[in-house]
Each structure stands twice: as structure tokens, then as C-alpha cells.
Structure 1
């Protein structure tokens, strides 16, 4: 039932300790191999009444297990005094004959063969209600134990982005379930939204990924994006509001805040609001602290939303990660990267691991770097500990030596070109196109060689990773800290920046290399028409053309087809070069300004159904109402109005569904209601009366708000029964589905069935815990 493959021997010992401590009603401690004298678990080193031997022999043969236990018998016979009770725990499944043979080995020290706990017995104990807290502590034990994640890994469950699955099995096996992970899980189970923030490399992405898979286990499907287009993501999840979905936005504000500054603060808030009223949806966001701070400073609407605590923020701080958890992270990386014993001996010598665990700059990303095979193979075993300490002491140099002295010139060009295109993943074909352009300009083309493939092969696994998504090959850096290094190095390397810019093909290259300074260059290209030779990964060209018209009012027949494409693609609001552009404003200008209307044939475009449908797409109800008034004045075909009226009814229904009832509750006397609620058993009538009053008040306000929107729409008769019916039905459903739950959420304690605290807690001396984890052979 449970999968013990993902537990290290030490983790399995802790699991057995927790289970038997609970079952026997005593506190068991566990000890490091080589110093236990035949004891893995006992209540006290000096009072060994109960002794437990733990054998995590899942992948070994029964004969190996039996041979090992026979050696333990010799140690047991030498103990003085002898333990009163002796237990054997193993993760293997054993036959009845196997159990009988093991019992015969230890029959002088066991009451019965019940003292032998195999995988089946441990499974049964973990399934007991009183042990659910232990099960929750061992996240890795049960997440992939059935077919749910197997289906996910086999791509049977829909997932948008194969990148998420890259190295899943390896990541999962060596993931350390910290107390911070448990805190994030509690927040999500109560609030369904979380923003995890922290410095680079503290574990935001891996924590977010594992939280996502926790909800997959509970029957949720995944929505995940690597391109940061929140509007596309929101549109996809709205198709089925009843479907249980967990949405993950990794680096949701961008690695350098570029994406949000241009497009996404309103889109992000719209998504957060949608999650608030969609009980089957869970949203997991993460961001760097510096980027979050910049986003809040630059976007007042985002700052106000977060200050209202409408989404819980959890900050990962390495000071909050215990030294014990840091030790597990370090040990698991050593196992994952198959560190040879002669290297590990230098870590164990004189307890050198303590200087690593206790280092002020300890960071999982640096640990990942120093334990990678590509790194330690270049270091002599005797120098390995010093190498780790030197890297921790100067973390900014993590990639410097390798990048500057370990790469050929074409490999550095390869990496800089990749950085200029994306901070996540980009299609291999796009990177190759830009790389070849740059190599040609450097005069490095040799027709007998495929320089791109040669560099790609050399850099794979050490600096880049390649994944497949929907039939396309995507490429990105192996670690986000590489992007940090390249950004810092390019900031002081003017010559290389100019080389990248002079050979750039995509708008995104200018944006990423120049940042805010890209405005002047792009505007100049827009004026000269040179901009039309540009390409865009995110298809931004049409939007920049709309901006050019809005900003400068110039006419250019080369832009005609791009104007239409821009309206088709445009979200309800975008920000370009610090200017806010709304769809309503853009369409209004194009329609009302006769020179634009005539030159770009805007009115004629409404004969195309795709164009008409796009006009109201993504708009809020009041924006749609304003735009419909403008369209009415253009004396367009009556048939078009009927289409828009139907679309507008849908927008009104969405407005009602997304309305936050908590905003109304803030203006009500909830203190009185809370008093009635707390005394509900003796004041049932007063409670129901107050509840009814608030409900009626909200219904009136919500209905009036919806009708206000209709009244300003001139071409829709406010007495239209279809419109009235849609509004009233929407109000009714909103109240029916969500009001009671909203009041309950507002008043009741935020308890979602938390597990009880363990009856027994292992509390050995602090330094012994670190020794226990790291002063053991790598298995």
C-alpha cells in the first residue's frame, strides 16, 4: 500500500521509531550505524529494556536480510543486561516461512513472531486513525504509492507543461519534508491560495512542486505554465468550474519582474479572485522576495490586494530551517549525486559536516552545486571539504570559475544567447536560429561542423537541460542561479551586451538585455518600420503596433494586418513602457478617429465573426457596457448587437460569480452576528434573524450593482426579460452556493481537521541528531 523505496535508511528508522513509540507507549531513540552495538532503536542508551533492530532491505534478497540478522544475534548475546523485549522491523514483504525462520533466530528474546514487523504490519499500523499524524509527516511514503502519480508520470492526466515532470522521480525521492512544507500545506488546506517567497535557492520551486503533487494525490489535475501568460491559463481553467484543479505558477512575477511590469498585475489579481470563488481550485504561487517587493512598490493594486491578506504569503528563510533539516537536505544530495566514499570520508572526518550545516550561507542551491558530479570530479577528495566551504563563503562565485575558464567561446555565446531569450524555457529551434546569427557575425562558421549541436551536447546536464513539451523540444538553464550570474556579469560587460543586441532577432532579447532602456530602441524601430523585421516569442509585435498608434497617431499601411491581430490578442489591459493601455480605449480610438477608421478599415473588420467575438473578450462588466455604447453609435449590423448582447449576459454572470461577498461582510455588523453564532444553542432565533438580514442586504446590493451596469448600456433595454432573468438567476445561485460557506468561513475557527500531535516526540541531544544523520556510510 505504501512505497518505502523513497525513504532513506535513516528515514525508515525514524518512521519505525515513531510507530513503535506510539504502539508501545514509550519514547524510542535511534542511533547511528557503527556505534549502536546491535541497537537501532531503544528507549535509552543506558536502559535498554526495549531494543529494535531496523533493516531497510527493500531491494535486497531475503537471504541477505537473514544473514544480517544472524550477525545481530551475536551482538544481542553480548549485551549486558539483556533487553526484555526485542523487535525487528523491515520494509520487505516476508513469507510466513521467512517470519518463522527469523523468529527462531531471536526466539529467546521475543514473546512471539508478532515482534517481527514486515512491510505488511507497518502498512496496517500506518492506516490506523491514531497514526495519521505519522503518515502526514512521511509525505514521500504515500504520495506515489498508488496509480495517481503513475498516471501523471505517464501523461494520462492532462498537464500543461512537461517541464514540471522533468526529474520528478529523482526530485521526489530526495525531497526533505521540512516543517515549512507542512505549514504551507496547512495554509493551502484552509485557504486554497498561497504565495511562497524567499531568496534564490532556498527551495521555493521544489516546495511548490511537491505541494502540487500532494493535491494530485487527492484527485486534482494540474495546470502549469512556463510562459507566464496568466490570461491564457485563467481561460483554460474556466472551461470547467467543477473540475478539481491545482494551478502552479513558478516565479509568478518573473525572475526580474519584467513580465509583471508589462502585462500581469491585473491578470494575476483576476486569477486570485477567481480562485477565491472556485472551491475546486487551488493556487500555488512562488516568487523571489526582491521581485515581490519591487512588484508591490510598482503596482498599487497588487500591493493593496496582498496587504488585505486575500492570499497568504509564506516566506522561506534559511534561518527558519532547522539544522537537522539542513543535514537531511545535504545527506540526500550526497546520495542523489552518488558521492564516492573517499569524498564523503573527508566530510565525516573530524565532523567536518558541522561546519557545512552551520555555515551562515548554507543554501540548498549551493549544496546542489557542490555535490553535483560535474563539480566534485574536478576536485581531489582531500580538498573536497575545503571546496564546499570556499563556495559557501563566496556564493556569488558559484558559476564564475566554470563559466569563465571551463567553457569554450562558442559555449559562452550559447549560454548568453539563451539568457537573452528567456529566464525559463525556449524552443530549441528559436535558440539555434539566434545562436547561428551570432556565430555568423563572429566569423566562426565552419560548414563542416554543427557548432550548435556540439555546444548543446557539451552543456547538457552541466549548464542546460532539455525537455519535451507537446512535441516540441524546450531548453533552459539547469539552475536559475546561472541566470543570476549571467545577468550580473553582462551588467559589467558592455562589449558583450552590444554584441548580443546587434545580433538580436527577437523583441524579447532587447527587453531582457536592456530592461527599461529598451523603450528608446524599440520606439525608434517602430517609427522607422525596422520593427517589422523583428520576431517575438510571445507574439508581442501586434501589441507594440497598437501602442505606436495610441502613442504617436501615425499611419502606416504595413501595420494594417497587425492592428487587427493586436485587437484579437489584446487582453483587457496591458502596460507598455509604463503606459496603461485598455482594450476599450484602443477600440474606441480606432472607431472614433475617422483617419484610423478609414485608413485601417476598422469598421469593415466587424464583418469577420472572429474579430467581433474578440472585442468583448476578457473585459469586465462595466468595460463591456461602455464599449457596447460606443459600438451602438457606429450603426453596425443589428445582427452583431444580438451576438454582443448574448456575450454581455455571460460577462454579467461572471461578474456576479466573481463578486467577493467578504467585501459586503466588512460593512455589516459581524460582531453581533459572531455573538449570535457563539451563543447559537441558546439564541437560535436571533442568529437566524441576523443572518437573514445580512443575506437580504447583500442580495439587494448585488442585484442593484448588476442592474446599474445594464442601465448604462443604451442598446440593451433594461426591461429585457432575458437580461433580468440572467442577473436574478446569477444572484440567486451566488447566494445559494456560497453565502452560507462565506459566513461560515468568516466566523468559524479555521480548522480543517488537523492531525493530532504525536504522543511521543524524539528529542535526543541536538548535536547527536546531526551526527546521526551525517556520521553514517552512504547507502
Structure 2
């Protein structure tokens, strides 16, 4: 018998759970009554000798249960039923049951009429349909939660306590089963919708569901660029890429390549019978991506899209979401009373700006601590009237000035960022803006982090830096010295607690020229110049006027020789969270300056020409696309150019042929047409290609087999043969032989046993039944009446 925590239910949910179990156990229809008006009756049914009354009690321990039951004795004596039944979430001993029976003599005929936790779970084990219906039980079970923690693909927000809290708050609706159906049909899903509508929550619940079917979760926080490092053919895996069209998507000049990577990864997922992929994005961002990148339309990736629209939240679902947050949020009773009186909650449920994130934020920030009980509804409604005011209130009233500026500095940095780098940027801010009258203090900085944590930011731990996994798994010792990573094992990172915080900071800073000027005066990392600012109107960036652009130029010149990177990447490989920093992405930085600032300021243009190197150096191969783009834009007569050396260096920055960025290499034809044609016909070029083909063959065919890598290898060989007329037939034969062997022994996995069609039909029928038999208004009133003491 599985051990479930019945206190994961609210009192009303536990009542319904008890009713369904007793109906199944006793084979009778049990009549329900409105909360707050039961006079000792939660449920009732008629027996041969008279009425049987049932009461359900959700309590944490026996002493609390007994205290509440004693209050019911006068009511039961007045009702004088033929029989009285009690259900409770508390585990009961035989002695406990005897105490309760004696309390309600002669109405409780036997201790068998007292159903403790173990009794209810015993009935549940015999009624699988009820177990499936009450998803909070199995999705929040200890077994599943431990599995999440053991896999460690998430950060601190996914600690056991937080997991449990999220499941308590979740209100299941039709989108859950529709999404399951889409995943079954397509093996991937794009969950879209407006900010705060519940996209991430739905994704998390879907992941928890598949954990119960032995899927390993992989969180693609750093993007899909390294996806093949943790694809494992022999494991069931479910990948999650939250906000996959992130805020920098449209400003990335390699955007087309990013789109192609996403499309390619989706195709890889669909080829594997034991892989699933969940992508979340804001609907308006997805629409913009479709307009810019035609391939989204061509590939029809929206065939597997599930839109979470506010319309799916019926009044009843809205009410349950609000109720769950209030019940589990620790709101004091006098404040709840203010919300319940005159049915004030109806205004919130029906509000045009209703959004689960507003409710979540109000509860998380404990707004009731800053207003009297009589104003709780009024203050809560004001946050619905102006959603930005949720963060504005906390920003202006709950944190000190040092913390306010620390948060604004975080806005200029990528997320996540090392706490050490945030501290460096914060120190630079105060040292370069003495006019603010705040001195930098490392102790105050740490106090500030503690103040911001869990409200505005999350503090997370990076476990270890990333070795070259393919080299390590094939017996090649050490690190890939051509792509060295900075070891940041055990370091602390800072990230936004909620995506809407970035939106708030964006809107807060917008048009505040003086405040933006303070930030620009102190920029110290290259990412700060392009994470949030632009020299023109750009999606998700603050457009700077000429005065501020000139400040950007002055700051660049001031710190030119001391520029560093703070870019951090996090990936999950084999249950371990890996954290690493690449060499500074200087070509991306220069490319951004060229596209967004250089036309507005000659000093910025001069900075670009002084710092651009015509030949790639160690560790810079990962930025080859940005390098080629910039090479094609600059006036090369201002450089001493050696084309052959440029070609050689570019090719030598790939580890093997599968890592070779041929699409970027072919752009050299537009920049150096004559030299390019000479080079690709030379023995020099064919020798380099053969060397890289041989190296790939040794690893991907001769070592540990990665099916996706072998496929990539084959595609690359076929392309090179066709494009450059190099004979690679010998290698293709070995690859085809390897693939044949893999396919002949391919492992097949069974799908889970949940009948999705039946569940969707059940929910639809249940909703119709509710509308026919009980008006939603009565259920909502019932729900909130249960919050009364």
C-alpha cells in the first residue's frame, strides 16, 4: 500500500476525497452539504433504519483532531442520527479509535465507522480510478519527490518543501490532459500563454507525472546548444526548456542557427521512442519568432502547441486557485474574514487582470503584514488593478536603497550570474556613483542578498565545472584544451526568482535617463553592454538616446583593457548539475556593438576595430558564427589579412568533423571569393577534413556509441562529399554498418497506462454534471465559507 500525505489536500478537497472513497466502499450515493452551514453534517445518506451522517476532519495530529471533534458532540446529540461516521487525515491507533467512539456513543456503532488515514489508503488501493482522479496524491508522493531530488536537474526552487508547496497549490484542469495527449502524439509540446498564466507550473506537473513512469528529467537551462551531451539512448528522458525563446532571442545575430538547432533537436526527440521534450514560451514571443523565422512555419512545430489561455480558467478553477493560495499561504484569519465578507473574493475571481502570478506574489510577499485587516481586500484588489504594482510595492516599500540598486544592477547582468560577479558589479556601481551617497560595503552586500532572496532572487549552488564529456567517456583524459572552461565548482549563483521581475525592472527603468546613466557609468562586464541596453528600439531591451550612447562609449574607453566576462552556463548530465564559464564571448560582444551602437558613435566604432582579431584564437571557436558575421561587415583594408591562416585557424577550432561549423565556413566565399575557391581545392583543405573525419570515426564509431552523434557524422560526411567533392566512401560504409547494428538492437519502450482520452472525457462530463446539478456560484460560496473559523 502506497503511503500518501492526506494533508496535501485542503479541508474541502479532503471532504470530497472522503466522500468518493465511502461511496465506493459502501456502494451508496452520499449527499453533500454546503460548508459553514452543516451544523455537524458534511455528508449524509439514508439507510434502512434512518439517516447516516458523515463528517470529515483534516488535521495534523490526533490532539488537534480530538479538540475539534469535542466541538461536534453537542451538534450530533441535537441531530441524533441513526449512525455517525468519521473520516480523518490522521493515522489512528486502536486506542485513538476507542476514545473517539466513546466520545460519540451511541451514534458511532463500531470503530469500523471511524476511518483513519490507513483505512482510507486501504480503500484507495482498491479503487484505482479514485487514485487517478486525485492527482495531488500520487504526483506529490514521497517516492516521486525523492526521485526529483535524486536526479538534481533543478536548482534551489526545487527543494522538497517547495515541490510539496507547488503541488498543494496546483488546480488540475483540462490543459493537463490535453498536454499529455499532445506529448503522446508528438513526443514534444510547446506550452505557450501570457506571463504568469501557469506555463511553468504545467510543465513541472507534466514532468512529475512522467517521473512516475521512470523518466529522467533534464532541465535545459543553458539552452539546447549542448543537448547532445546528455541524450542517452538507453534511458527514458524528458527534457524541459523553459522560456526557450528567451529575451535575447531576437537580438542574436545567430538567430537562424539557434532556430535550426531547436528544430533539429525536436526531430531527434521524435526519432527516439523513449524521449520527450517540453518547451515553454510566451505566446507573443512565439508569434514574433514565426514572423522572423520562416522555418517555424515550414516545419509546423505548432502542431504540438498547447495554449494556456485565461479562458481555460473557469470561474470555479479561478476560485480554487485563489482558495488554495489563501488556505496554504498562512494568511491570518482576520484578513481572510475581510476577503470573505460581502463575498469580496468574487471581485478578484472576475477581475479582468486575473492572473495566478498576481495571487502567488501577494501571498509570497505577505502583503497583509503591511496593511490592517480592514484594508486587506482593498490592497489586494489594487494589485489586480495594476499588476506591476505588486513588484513596485515590494521594491519601494520592503527593501532598502542598497538592495534596490543591487537589483537594478542585476538587471544589466545575464541570469544566472555568479554572486562574486554581482558583487563586483555592485562595488563598481557605488564607486562610480558617489553622488548617491551610499558607500560600498561587502557586509551590506551580503545582507542585501539575504533581503532579496526568495522574493526577487533565488540563490543557487553550482555543483561542478564541465569536462568534455565525449572525450572523458571514450577514455581520453583531461580537458579539451582548445575550449578551456573556468572551474567554478561550488560557487554561488544568483537568478531571478520569477521571470516577471525582469519585466518589472525593464518598465521601472524605462525613460528614467538619470538612473540608466548611473548604471552605464559603472558597467564592468562585457555582458552588461548587451544584456539589457541597445542603441535602438529593440524587443526586450531599453533603447538609449544619444547622450546615454555617448556614456556607453566613454565607459568602453575607460575600461577597455580590463573588460571581463560574467557569462555562466548550467547543464545537467547524468543526474549532476554542471556549471561552467567559457572564455569571454568577445565576438558576440563586438558584433552587438557594431549592430546596435557603432553607427551612433565613432568612438565605439574605433573600439571595435581596435579589439577585433582577424584570426580565431584558442577557446574562441564556439563563437565562430559571430566572428564570421563581423568579419563580413568590417572594412578589412584596415587590417593585415592572411586568408589562408584565417581558414586554417577556423577549421582547427573544431574538435572533429561533427563539430565543424561548415555553414559559417562557407560564408568565407562571400568575403574572400577567390582565395576561398583556391583553398577548398587544395590538398591542405582535404588533409584537414580527412584528419577530422578520422578523429570522429574513432570516437563515435569506435568508442561509446551515441546514436545522434553517429547520425550527425553520417550527415556531415554526405554533405562534405557532395559540396567539396572529397571522397569519403570508406568512412560512410563504416558509419552505415554501425547504424545498421544499432537499429537491429534498438530498445522499445511501452507508453504509460493512463487513458488520456478517458480522462479528458471524464473531466468534460464532470464539468457538465456540475453545471447541471450544482451551480458554480454555490460551489464557490461553499469553498470560501470553509475558510471561516
What TM-score does the superposition give when structure 1 sets the normalisation length?
0.77
User: Which range is displaced more, 375-384 or 264-273?
Assistant: 264-273
Matched residue count: 697
Equivalence for 1:698: none
Identify the match of residue 459 of structure 1 among 443, 449, 452. Answer: 452
Equivalence for 1:276: 270
Q: Are the aligned partners of 1:621 and 1:655 in contact in 2 as well (CA < 8 Å)?
A: no
Q: Are the aligned partners of 1:255 and 1:288 in contact in 2 as well (CA < 8 Å)?
A: no
Q: Are the aligned partners of 2:585 and 2:620 in contact in 1 as well (CA < 8 Å)?
A: no
1:468 and 2:470 correspond: no
Structure 2 SS opposite 1:230: coil
Instruction: Name the CA distance, whole Å, in 2 between partners of 1:365 and 1:126.
Output: 34
Q: Are the aligned partners of 1:621 and 1:648 in contact in 2 as well (CA < 8 Å)?
A: no
Equivalence for 1:367: 359
1:768 and 2:778 correspond: yes
Structure 1 SS opposite 2:209: helix
Q: Are the aligned partners of 1:277 and 1:657 in contact in 2 as well (CA < 8 Å)?
A: no
Distance change (3 Å), C-alpha of 1:301 and 1:382: same
Equivalence for 1:7: 9
Distance change (3 Å), C-alpha of 1:198 and 1:640: closer
1:116 and 2:114 correspond: yes
Q: Are the aligned partners of 1:195 and 1:286 in contact in 2 as well (CA < 8 Å)?
A: yes
Identify the match of residue 390 of structure 1 among 382, 392, 416. Answer: 382
1:357 and 2:353 correspond: no
1:72-87 pair list within 5 angstroms: 72-79=72-79, 82=81, 86-87=84-85
Equivalence for 2:340: 348
Instruction: Name the CA distance, whole Å, in 2 between partners of 1:98 and 1:282.
Output: 48
Instruction: Name the CA distance, whole Å, in 2 between partners of 1:769 and 1:567.
Output: 62
- 1:166-218 Cα distance to aligned partner (Å, 9 max, x none): 83333233333333233323433443311111111112222222222222232
Instruction: Name the CA distance, whole Å, in 1 between partners of 2:50 and 2:248.
Output: 57
Equivalence for 1:251: 243
Q: Are the aligned partners of 1:339 and 1:373 in contact in 2 as well (CA < 8 Å)?
A: no
Distance change (3 Å), C-alpha of 1:653 and 1:16: closer
Distance change (3 Å), C-alpha of 1:725 and 1:50: farther
Instruction: Name the CA distance, whole Å, in 2 between partners of 1:408 and 1:527.
Output: 30
Instruction: Name the CA distance, whole Å, in 1 between partners of 2:51 and 2:317.
Output: 30
Equivalence for 1:724: 733
Structure 2 SS opposite 1:222: strand
Distance change (3 Å), C-alpha of 1:605 and 1:230: closer
Give 5+ residue unaligned stretches, structure 2: 464-489, 537-542, 568-581, 596-604, 670-675
Deviation at 1:425, TM superposition (A): 2.8
Deviation at 1:29, TM superposition (A): 4.8
Equivalence for 2:473: none
Deviation at 1:557, TM superposition (A): 9.3
Structure 2 SS opposite 1:246: strand
Q: Are the aligned partners of 1:198 and 1:287 in contact in 2 as well (CA < 8 Å)?
A: yes
Distance change (3 Å), C-alpha of 1:407 and 1:708: closer
Q: Are the aligned partners of 2:190 and 2:302 in contact in 1 as well (CA < 8 Å)?
A: no
Q: Are the aligned partners of 2:432 and 2:521 in contact in 1 as well (CA < 8 Å)?
A: no
Give 5+ residue unaligned stretches, structure 1: 660-702
Q: Are the aligned partners of 2:525 and 2:566 in contact in 1 as well (CA < 8 Å)?
A: yes
Equivalence for 2:36: 34
Distance change (3 Å), C-alpha of 1:213 and 1:502: same
Distance change (3 Å), C-alpha of 1:399 and 1:717: closer
Deviation at 1:346, TM superposition (A): 0.5
Distance change (3 Å), C-alpha of 1:196 and 1:364: same
Q: Are the aligned partners of 2:524 and 2:563 in contact in 1 as well (CA < 8 Å)?
A: yes
Equivalence for 1:506: 525
Identify the match of residue 132 of structure 1 among 120, 128, 133. Answer: 128
Deviation at 1:383, TM superposition (A): 0.9
Distance change (3 Å), C-alpha of 1:89 and 1:447: closer
Identify the match of residue 170 of structure 2 among 154, 167, 175. Answer: 175
1:544 and 2:574 correspond: no
Structure 1 SS opposite 2:87: strand
Identify the match of residue 91 of structure 1 among 77, 89, 92. Answer: 89
Deviation at 1:143, TM superposition (A): 2.7
Instruction: Name the CA distance, whole Å, in 2 between partners of 1:421 and 1:195.
Output: 28
1:291 and 2:282 correspond: no
1:141 and 2:137 correspond: yes
Distance change (3 Å), C-alpha of 1:430 and 1:194: same
Instruction: Name the CA distance, whole Å, in 2 between partners of 1:432 and 1:778.
Output: 47
Identify the match of residue 320 of structure 2 among 310, 318, 328. Answer: 328
Instruction: Name the CA distance, whole Å, in 2 between partners of 1:464 and 1:653.
Output: 39
Instruction: Name the CA distance, whole Å, in 1 between partners of 2:301 and 2:452.
Output: 46
Equivalence for 1:635: 684
Deviation at 1:343, TM superposition (A): 1.1
Structure 1 SS opposite 2:533: helix
Equivalence for 2:22: 20
Instruction: Name the CA distance, whole Å, in 2 between partners of 1:731 and 1:96.
Output: 64
Instruction: Name the CA distance, whole Å, in 2 between partners of 1:399 and 1:143.
Output: 31
User: Which range is displaced more, 468-477 or 558-567?
Assistant: 558-567
Distance change (3 Å), C-alpha of 1:545 and 1:55: closer
Equivalence for 1:211: 206
Equivalence for 1:200: 195
Distance change (3 Å), C-alpha of 1:351 and 1:640: closer
Identify the match of residue 479 of structure 1 among 498, 520, 523. Answer: 498
Structure 2 SS opposite 1:421: coil
Identify the match of residue 596 of structure 1 among 637, 642, 658. Answer: 642
Identify the match of residue 431 of structure 2 among 409, 430, 440. Answer: 440
Q: Are the aligned partners of 2:144 and 2:208 in contact in 1 as well (CA < 8 Å)?
A: no
1:617 and 2:619 correspond: no
Q: Are the aligned partners of 2:36 and 2:782 in contact in 1 as well (CA < 8 Å)?
A: no
Deviation at 1:622, TM superposition (A): 13
1:419 and 2:415 correspond: no
Deviation at 1:149, TM superposition (A): 1.9
- Superposed CA RMSD in Å reads 4.6
Instruction: Name the CA distance, whole Å, in 2 between partners of 1:723 and 1:533.
Output: 49
1:518-537 pair list within 5 angstroms: 533-537=562-566
Q: Are the aligned partners of 2:615 and 2:645 in contact in 1 as well (CA < 8 Å)?
A: no
Instruction: Name the CA distance, whole Å, in 2 between partners of 1:54 and 1:426.
Output: 49
Equivalence for 1:694: none
Identify the match of residue 222 of structure 1 among 211, 217, 221. Answer: 217
Deviation at 1:555, TM superposition (A): 11
Q: Are the aligned partners of 1:352 and 1:385 in contact in 2 as well (CA < 8 Å)?
A: yes
Q: Are the aligned partners of 1:490 and 1:497 in contact in 2 as well (CA < 8 Å)?
A: yes
Structure 1 SS opposite 2:684: coil
- 1:629-649 Cα distance to aligned partner (Å, 9 max, x none): 966734269597244245269
- 1:306-350 Cα distance to aligned partner (Å, 9 max, x none): x3545x211112221122222222222223431111111101112
User: Which range is displaced more, 379-388 or 160-169?
Assistant: 160-169
Equivalence for 1:494: 513
